[in-house]
Amino acid sequence: MNDIAIQLEHITKTFPGVKALDDVSIQIQRGTVHALVGENGAGKSTLIKILSGIYQPDAGDIYINGKKKKFKVPVEAQRAGISVVHQEFKLSETLTVTENIFLGNLIYTKAKLVNWKEMRKRAEKMISDLQVELDPDTIVQTLSVAKKQIVEICKSISREASIIIMDEPSATLTERELEVLFGIVRTLRDSGYTIIYISHRMDEIFGLADNISVLRDGCHVATMPVAEVTRDKLITLMVGRELENEFIKHNCSISDEVILEAKKVSRAGVLQDIDLQLRKGEVLGIAGLVGAGRTELARALLGIDKIDSGEVLYKGQPVKWNFRTAIKNGLGLVPEDRKRFGLSLQSTVKNNITLTAIDKVLEWGLLNLRKEYKYAEWYVEKLRVVTPSVETKVMNLSGGNQQKVVIAKWLMADSEIMILDEPTRGVDVGAKRELYGIIKDLIEQGKTVIVISSEMPELLSICDRIVVMSRGRLVGEFAHGEGTQEKILSLCV
Amino acid sequence: MKIDTKIGSKVKSFTRDYSIVLALIVLMIAITMADSRFLRVSNLMNILLQTSTVAIVALGQALLLITGQLDLSLGQNVCLSGFISAYFMEMLELGPWLSLVIGILVAMLVGLINGLLTTIIGIPPFITTLGMQLVCQGCAKLITSTKTIAPLDKSIKVIGRGFVFDTIPVSVVLMIVLYALMAFMMKRTRMGRYYYEIGGNPEAAYFAGINVKLYRILAFVIAGFFAGVSACVLISRLDSANIANGTGYEFEAMIGAVLGGVSQSGGKGKIFAAMFGVMFSVALFNGMTLLNVNPFVQDVFKGGILLFAMGVDAIRTKQAV
């Protein structure tokens, strides 16, 4: 009994219309990395929110280190030693690393003054214990995403947390930064911390976790040691059905026509002499680390950012367009941060889908609402968006379905070239497959696709060609089947 | 069965969107019980007339709130543009109708400047229009050294004091027509849809290819237009341009819009509900005056109601996230 850090018993939580958690009982052993997996909407976030005191369960009990606890507010969970490293960091960007670590938890001198010396010393120790490099005096703003995450982890440690929940910590990290994170997680585990690790990436779960709990539709499906489960078995448990291992790359021939071309495109500080040809009907992958200039390249091609030198050619003609003219000419962007840039969350599925191509439902200058409704329904059906109706607000949809809505938007706009920036981030396994299927369909309809992704297996399997970016330059190119993760990675760094 | 649920959901969404109408009815019953003079035709007419000028301004305020902005200079814009019209009409003896058009154009110009300052320069709407409030007031005072211009040309009397079929005030008809046009615009045109989406998430609207800046500037210009129209009605009704004209309209318009359920966080709100919101607050203060409530207390109430309505909206928005 003593080695159980968290024991959940019969936890049930209902939201209006949805049973988010249904009689969930899980035991988490102290000093282990416990992976929590499940498709989007399976109930992982709800469970985390209950553990961290944001939500209160309708029924069921929580035992922390054998003691029954009831968290009415997040502070009580913190006091019980539970700390969450959220996907979106809660850091004060303009303060230093040390200040952030001890924010709200300051150390005082005997005279009741803030003891900066002591805090800096402790921060330094914490960072060196984690075996990472980070200057405690750096302003957080200037740090990379990976480093910011380390600050968040230090913050948890400084609050004397014994249980650290990491909510998709890897989603925004590149492969190399991941290694560092794994190192940190292992170090923490070995020094007695209990880690609850949420991720969609199979590689990580199998490389890192000791035990796995699977949630599906709010129910606890299984908990087992990682050694006792295979990847396929795990996916089956998560989705509740066998996923056929279909061939996800399309079979169409690529034309010789160069539809979009960059010639010596440069933008101070982010892009340098980019030469790139996109052929009609291909899936072009852009690999690289975060900050390598992938998104910036897309923005330059789309006219969102001005380029300093070089030119962009569309169908052989040099273009000097802004984003709106690019859209009119048939380009579309599924942005990385879909909730911020891709969707209006409080708006309906219908309004989101039809927004870009609203002119299609205009009749004598007025919106034909019936026609609009039909269009929206057609795309919802076509992309198999799971939603009660097209009048449902997008914020009530799961990540994968939200992503489909963004894609539907560009489909309706008849985009010939679609640029997908990290299309499967935060999307569960089942929906991922569907998105790959959608990309395949796009190609079969004669469209051209650029995929920017940090997930190399994804690029390797769906792309006709992968170019690699590093520090604002194109540093390599692989045809389908030529590249391997190792080859690409060696070019990235 | 299917039809039943459809009607059910329609009723549900109506009561949600227009709960202000119910509140208005309850309020009217309550005041009538306290003082039956409230229900006199002359008093009700008074309420309608007062509503019309504020409600026309509220159209602009509601549009701005829906796009996630606001305009605190609308009241002084009403004052200034009324003065401009009166000045051209009486001092320069220009045609009365042309003078009104000039007044409206000036009001739109003020809106345009607000729009450019917020959108192109990047000053927050709150600050921009707070400054513009003083600019408008100062200009109005400069024109006439704070003297009232009265009486005005007889031919414009019809706007503020005329009746349709000898019963319905022209200004009330004008208000309803403008509301109907605006509601139609918001529901059935591309521009209306763009406004809701820009208010909902401006960044996503940009990434959907909408010229967000242009539409935002245009919203300020439209709000200026309505301020100008309201000024025409007001100077015609009062037969004078006075430095006190339009004072506080921006607040009353905001109270009306927010009471009507237009969200201060943008992207939400029904146009007609704003009109009922204005009517509610006009009726409330009319009732208070009837019941001899100290006017200073009424001011406290006015501010209080705005804060209350904003608070309710803020809580609702928080819950939705």
ipTM over 0.90: no
DSSP string, A420-455: EESTTTT--HHHHHHHHHHHHHHHHTT-EEEEE-S-
- Is residue B10 a part of any domain in this protein? no
CA atoms of A424 and A402, how far apart (whole Å): 11
pLDDT in tens, chain A (493 residues): 458 889 999 999 887 656 788 899 999 999 999 999 887 667 888 899 899 888 899 999 999 888 888 888 888 888 888 988 887 778 888 889 998 888 877 888 888 888 888 888 988 888 888 888 888 888 988 888 788 888 888 888 888 888 999 988 876 677 778 888 888 899 889 988 999 998 877 778 888 899 999 988 788 988 999 888 888 888 778 777 554 444 566 777 778 888 999 999 999 888 889 999 999 989 999 988 777 889 999 999 999 988 899 999 998 889 888 888 999 899 999 988 888 888 988 889 999 999 988 889 888 889 899 999 999 999 998 888 888 889 888 888 877 888 889 989 988 888 899 999 988 877 777 778 888 888 988 888 889 999 998 877 788 888 999 999 988 888 889 888 888 777 787 787 6
B197/A355 Cβ within 8 A: yes
Q: Which residues of A touch B (CB under 8 A)?
A: 323-324, 327-328, 333, 335, 340-347, 351, 355-356, 358-359, 362, 365-367, 369, 395, 409, 413
In chain A, residues with a C-beta closer than 8 Å to the C-beta of B268 are: 346
Residue B17, classed as helix, strand or coil, is helix
CA atoms of A221 and A108, how far apart (whole Å): 47
| Cβ contact A199:A182 at 8 Å | no
Nearest residue on chain A to B184, judged by CA atoms? A366
Residue A406, classed as helix, strand or coil, is helix
In chain A, residues with a C-beta closer than 8 Å to the C-beta of B197 are: 344, 347, 351, 355
| Total tally of structural domains belonging to chain B | 1
Q: Given CB atoms, is B203 within the 8 Å cutoff of chain A?
A: yes
Radius of gyration of chain A (CA): 24
- Is residue B240 a part of any domain in this protein? yes
- For residue range B247-259, what is the model confidence (pLDDT) as tens digits? 889 988 999 998 8
| Cβ contact B71:B61 at 8 Å | yes
In chain B, residues with a C-beta closer than 8 Å to the C-beta of A409 are: 208
Nearest to A50 by CA among A80, A13, A86, A22: A13
Name the strands in the sheet holding A18-29, side by side, starting at the edge strand that comes first in the sequence. Answer: A18-29, A4-15, A59-64, A67-69
Select from A358, A391, A395, A419 the residue whose CB has the most chain B CBs within 10 Å, as the one to mutate to test that interface.
A358
CA atoms of B30 and A391, how far apart (whole Å): 38
In chain A, residues with a C-beta closer than 8 Å to the C-beta of B267 are: 344, 346-347
Nearest residue on chain A to B211, judged by CA atoms? A324
B209/A323 Cβ within 8 A: yes
Instruction: Specify the pLDDT at position A16.
Output: 64
Nearest residue on chain B to A302, judged by CA atoms? B207
- Is residue B14 a part of any domain in this protein? no
B209/A333 Cβ within 8 A: no
Residue A25, classed as helix, strand or coil, is strand
Interface A–B counts its CB contacts (< 8 A) at 67
Select from B2, B9, B201 the residue whose CB has the most chain A CBs within 10 Å, as the one to mutate to test that interface.
B201
- Is residue B20 a part of any domain in this protein? no
Residue spans of alpha helices (H) in chain B = 2-17, 19-34, 41-66, 74-86, 96-116, 125-144, 157-161, 170-188, 190-200, 202-207, 212-238, 249-259, 271-290, 295-320
- Is residue B265 a part of any domain in this protein? yes
- Is residue B31 a part of any domain in this protein? no
Instruction: Specify the pLDDT at position B2.
Output: 42
Whether B3 shows a pLDDT value over 50: the answer reads no
In chain B, residues with a C-beta closer than 8 Å to the C-beta of A345 are: 200-201
Q: Are strands A448-452 and A417-421 parallel, antiparallel or unpaired?
A: parallel
Cβ burial, residue A373 (10 Å; 0-12/13-18/19+): middle
Highest-pLDDT range among A84-88, B230-234, B296-300: B230-234
| Structural domain for B187, as ranges | 40-310
Q: How many CB atoms lie within 10 A of CB A363?
A: 8
Instruction: Specify the pLDDT at position A245.
Output: 47
Closest Cβ–Cβ partner in A328, A341, A362 for B207: A341
Distance to chain A for B105, nearest Cα, Å: 26
- Is residue B12 a part of any domain in this protein? no
CATH number, position B170: 1.10.3470
CA atoms of A449 and A428, how far apart (whole Å): 21
- Is residue B166 a part of any domain in this protein? yes
